């Protein structure tokens, strides 16, 4: 049994209690971890939460705002192993840790000198918004950058010093390692009865159109037998998924492949197939915990966000 998470049900992890347990665990292991600026837990478990008095299995992530180089230097997020579905969640939550509030919001303490993000419209759909307008959803707003710069500047030299260089894999990106069928497989709500057919990329938006079908037997018109019903889901292309003969999607834009050699991993269109989709767990809600900035007394609150799929809808939260 893991000491750093609260998992009340098999395959699930509860967000707020797990964050508190993980904070305690990470602090106890801080020297072992090399004194990191923050620690983030990516989990294949289904992040769960309470929203409006109800238990929900659709959480995505949670983190403390402005907690970099503090005792509350932790966050966690859900990810489907090997599919990079948690990349945007990690980016969003890491920005909270580094000091960024949601676009359109400011610090809860009116006396704080933290710049906040009230001057950056929520509707532009940058990383710290839930709205996905396309390329802007892969970019930080100027407010996010200003806030992170402010909080990190307050952290001081002990936080700025480079402790380690980390490890990097050069010239390998998610879209080179994940097929269309794999990235599409997490989308259907009825996975057991859904069959992946084919996928294509919309070059204007770098959206992947995932085509599925299921068979329906009418109780009224039984003589019709099984009826094949097609349907489509749309999701963002991963970086370096092909969108043309020599073009790839990079941060939501279809552009010339910057590498000299052509990426051969996946074509822009997959042929219809009869293979069954991979069963995974769909996430429809995200959770975040926030904390006041270094210049104020520490206050923890929790906000929750609702999505039909991966970071796409808006403004349902509870403060406490």
Active site residues: 93
Q: Is 6 helix (H, G, I), strand (E, B) or coil?
A: coil
d(CA 178, CA 199): 13
16 neighbors 288 (Cβ within 8 angstroms)? no
Beta strands 61-63; 74-78: pairing state: antiparallel
What is the DSSP code string of 122-190? Answer: GGG--TTSS---SGGGGS--HHHHHHHHHHHHHH-HHHHS--------TT--HHHH--HHHHHTT--SS
Report whether 138 belongs to an annotated binding site: no
Report whether 137 belongs to an annotated binding site: no
For tokens 């599925």, name the residue: 212
The pair phi, psi for residue 3, each rounded to 5°, is -85, -15
d(CA 174, CA 242): 11
Sign of the Cα pseudo-torsion (229, 234, 240, 242, in order)? positive
Q: Each residue of 126-155: b (16+ CB within 10 Å) or e?
A: bbbbbbbeeebbbebbebbebbbebbbebb
247 neighbors 257 (Cβ within 8 angstroms)? yes
What is the DSSP code string of 273-320? Answer: --PPPPP-----EEEEEEE--TTS---EEEEEEE-SSSS---------
d(CA 43, CA 6): 12
Q: Which residues, including other chains, have CB under 8 Å from residue 255's CB and lie 6 or more apart? A: 247, 248, 249
Report whether 96 belongs to an annotated binding site: yes
Q: Where is the binding site, in residues?
A: 92, 96, 102
Q: Where is the binding site for Zn(2+), in residues?
A: 92, 96, 102
């Amino acid at each position: 049994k893991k000491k750093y998470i609260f998992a009340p049900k098999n395959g699930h992890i509860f967000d707020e209690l797990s964050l508190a347990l993980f904070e305690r665990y990470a602090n106890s292991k801080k020297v072992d971890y090399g004194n990191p600026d923050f620690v983030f837990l990516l989990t294949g478990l289904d992040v769960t939460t309470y929203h409006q008095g109800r238990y929900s299995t659709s959480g995505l992530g949670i983190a403390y705002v402005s907690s970099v180089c503090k005792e509350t230097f932790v966050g966690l997020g859900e990810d489907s192993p090997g599919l990079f579905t948690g990349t945007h969640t990690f980016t969003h939550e890491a920005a909270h840790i580094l000091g960024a509030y949601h676009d359109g919001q400011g610090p809860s303490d009116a006396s704080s000198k933290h710049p906040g993000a009230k001057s950056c419209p929520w509707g532009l759909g940058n990383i710290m918004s839930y709205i996905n307008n396309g390329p802007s959803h892969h970019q930080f707003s100027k407010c996010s950058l200003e806030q992170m710069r402010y909080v990190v500047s307050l952290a001081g030299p002990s936080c700025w010093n480079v402790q380690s260089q980390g490890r990097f894999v050069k010239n390998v990106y998610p879209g080179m390692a994940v097929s269309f069928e794999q990235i599409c497989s997490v989308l259907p709500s009825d996975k057991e009865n859904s069959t992946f057919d084919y996928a294509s990329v919309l070059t204007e938006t770098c959206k992947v159109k995932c085509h599925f079908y299921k068979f329906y037997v009418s109780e009224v018109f039984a003589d019709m037998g099984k009826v094949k019903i097609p349907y489509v889901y749309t999701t963002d292309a991963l970086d370096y998924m092909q969108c043309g003969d020599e073009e790839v999607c990079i941060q939501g834009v279809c552009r010339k492949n910057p590498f000299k050699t052509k990426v051969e991993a996946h074509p822009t269109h997959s042929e219809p197939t009869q293979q069954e989709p991979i069963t995974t767990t769909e996430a429809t809600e995200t959770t975040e915990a926030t904390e006041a900035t270094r210049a104020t007394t520490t206050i923890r609150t929790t906000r929750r966000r609702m999505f039909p799929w991966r970071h796409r809808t808006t403004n349902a939260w509870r403060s406490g």
